[in-house]
């Protein structure tokens, strides 16, 4: 049995004699099965406590850099701050660099500033562009790991992506849309906030793929680069409704849902099915009022937990090289709405 502890330490932890531990370690006969399990458990306990000792006093400073609507960045900030106390005895502190829209040059300048000043990690939600990938490369060269969140920059040196499987999320939205519109003849409006967002692109691809296979005659009207803000989405949706008399359902990939609802109300049009993403305050209100049919949600606190573990593993404070797992996709309606 592999171990790294003196026999005396294992015996003390297990509450058995050193001779018993020696027999178990060398797989000699004459030891009850329960005692063998007791010794194995003692070694496992010592392993966990060794990890805690390794974490004791460790301090980590991470930078969260996001281009996203304020509603979503607020959810991320809250989720991370809720998780930080649970990381003790390690201490992790976060600096937030959040904007609803970044000029590419300013975003890159922010990443380069972090590379010069130093950080234990960067958590990044940004467009998938060659310039962003190059900036990630400079952070990597400065030994600052980058973890992409919600949307990926796959052709970069980032160490991991944390978030849901976006293609599966889009496919889930299409499946629900097909079921709910089975006997309703309307076109579907699909809105994305940025054509450079890999995550949104994957959601749209998943949505279109399932719509083609389940409901091939259903027309999809696409609006891109809405920026995910209510005012912009209201104006763009109003333009679509004015030009398309048959639009009567929405899959909102990038946000701005209050603006979309406002445009339907102003045009005196009915939205038969409205599917959105993420449980911010606005979407909660729209669910309860009946304007949103369902929200596809994932556990941001679990995402933040994975981010923290990746940072600590990179810096040798946690053992192993466990890769993050995709966040579960939860279909939220007014009747299974979790606590705020």
DSSP state string for 33-88: HHHHHHHHHHHHHHHHHHHHHHHTT-EEEEEEEEES-HHHHHHHHHHHHHHGGGGT
Residue 315 CA neighbour count, 13 Å, CB half = 22
Residue with the bigger pLDDT between 290 and 47: it is 290
Structure confidence at residue 190 (pLDDT): 98
Check: CB of residue 128 under 8 Å from CB of residue 152.
yes
Close Cβ partners of 230 (under 8 Å, ≥ 6 residues apart): 256, 257, 258, 259, 262
- Helix then strand count (H, E) for the chain reads 12, 11
Q: Look up tokens 């991320």; give the residue.
A: 76
Mean pLDDT is lowest, of 131-135, 267-271, 325-329, for: 325-329
- Supply 23's token pair: 């027999």
Q: How confident is the model at residue 308 (pLDDT cuts 50, 70, 90)?
A: very high
Structure confidence at residue 92 (pLDDT): 87
pLDDT of residue 1 exceeding 70, the answer is no
Close Cβ partners of 42 (under 8 Å, ≥ 6 residues apart): 10, 13, 14
User: Of 206, 211, 199, 254, which is closest to residue 230 (Cα–Cα)?
Assistant: 254
Q: pLDDT averaged over the chain? A: 92
Over residues 117-122, the mean pLDDT reads 94
Q: What is the tens place of the pLDDT at every residue in 202-217? A: 999 999 999 999 999 9
Cis before 89 (ω within 30): yes
Please state whether the predicted TM-score (pTM) of the whole model is above 0.75.
Answer: yes
Mean pLDDT is lowest, of 7-21, 94-108, 133-147, 300-314, for: 7-21
User: Of 67, 123, 82, 147, which is closest to residue 299 (Cα–Cα)?
Assistant: 82
User: Of 284, 272, 278, 72, which is closest to residue 180 (Cα–Cα)?
Assistant: 272
Over residues 39-45, the mean pLDDT reads 85
Structure confidence at residue 51 (pLDDT): 64
- CA distance linking residue 5 with residue 208, whole number of Å: 56
Q: What is the tens place of the pLDDT at every residue in 215-227? A: 999 999 999 999 9
Q: Look up tokens 């993420």; give the residue.
A: 278
Q: What is the tens place of the pLDDT at every residue in 58-104? A: 788 999 999 998 889 999 999 999 998 888 888 888 989 999 999 99
Q: What is the tens place of the pLDDT at every residue in 11-32? A: 888 888 999 999 999 889 889 9
Q: What is the tens place of the pLDDT at every residue in 146-178? A: 999 999 999 999 999 999 999 999 999 999 999
pLDDT of residue 47 exceeding 80, the answer is no
Q: What 8-state DSSP symbol labels residue 294?
A: E
User: Of 239, 273, 223, 234, which is closest to residue 256 (Cα–Cα)?
Assistant: 234
Close Cβ partners of 243 (under 8 Å, ≥ 6 residues apart): none
- Name beta bridge partners: 296: 277, 331
- CA distance linking residue 266 with residue 275, whole number of Å: 20
User: Of 30, 29, 39, 31, which is closest to residue 7 (Cα–Cα)?
Assistant: 39
Cα dihedral sign for 314, 166, 337, 254?
A: positive
């Amino acid at each position: 049995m592999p171990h790294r502890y003196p026999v005396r330490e294992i015996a003390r932890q297990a509450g058995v004699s050193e001779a018993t531990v020696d027999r178990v370690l060398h797989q000699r006969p004459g030891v009850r099965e329960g005692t063998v399990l007791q010794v194995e458990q003692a070694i496992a306990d010592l392993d966990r406590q060794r990890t805690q000792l390794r974490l004791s006093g460790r301090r980590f400073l991470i930078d969260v850099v996001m281009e996203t609507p304020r509603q979503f960045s607020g959810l991320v900030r809250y989720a991370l701050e809720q998780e930080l106390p649970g990381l003790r005895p390690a201490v992790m502190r976060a600096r937030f660099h959040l904007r609803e829209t970044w000029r590419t040059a300013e975003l890159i300048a922010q990443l380069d500033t972090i590379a010069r000043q130093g950080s234990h990690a960067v958590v990044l939600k940004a467009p998938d562009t060659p310039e962003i990938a190059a900036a990630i490369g400079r952070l990597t060269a400065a030994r600052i790991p980058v973890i992409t969140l919600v949307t990926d920059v796959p052709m970069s040196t980032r160490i991991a992506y944390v978030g849901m499987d976006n293609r599966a999320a889009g496919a889930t939205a299409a499946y629900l849309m097909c079921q709910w519109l089975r006997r309703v003849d309307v076109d579907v409006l699909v809105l994305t906030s940025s054509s450079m967002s890999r995550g949104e692109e994957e959601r749209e691809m998943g949505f279109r793929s399932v719509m083609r296979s389940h409901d091939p005659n259903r027309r999809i009207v696409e609006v891109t680069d809405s920026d995910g803000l209510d005012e912009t989405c209201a104006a763009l949706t109003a333009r679509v409704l004015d030009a398309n008399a048959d639009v009567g359902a929405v899959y909102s990939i990038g946000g701005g849902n209050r603006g979309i609802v406002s445009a339907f109300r102003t045009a005196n049009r009915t939205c038969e099915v409205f599917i959105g993403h993420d449980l911010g305050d606005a979407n909660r209100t729209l669910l309860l009022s009946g304007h949103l049919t369902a929200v596809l949600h994932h556990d941001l606190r679990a995402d933040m937990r994975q981010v923290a573990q990746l940072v600590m593993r990179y810096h040798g404070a946690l053992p192993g090289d466990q890769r993050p797992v995709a966040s579960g996709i939860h279909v939220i309606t007014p009747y299974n709405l979790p606590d705020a």
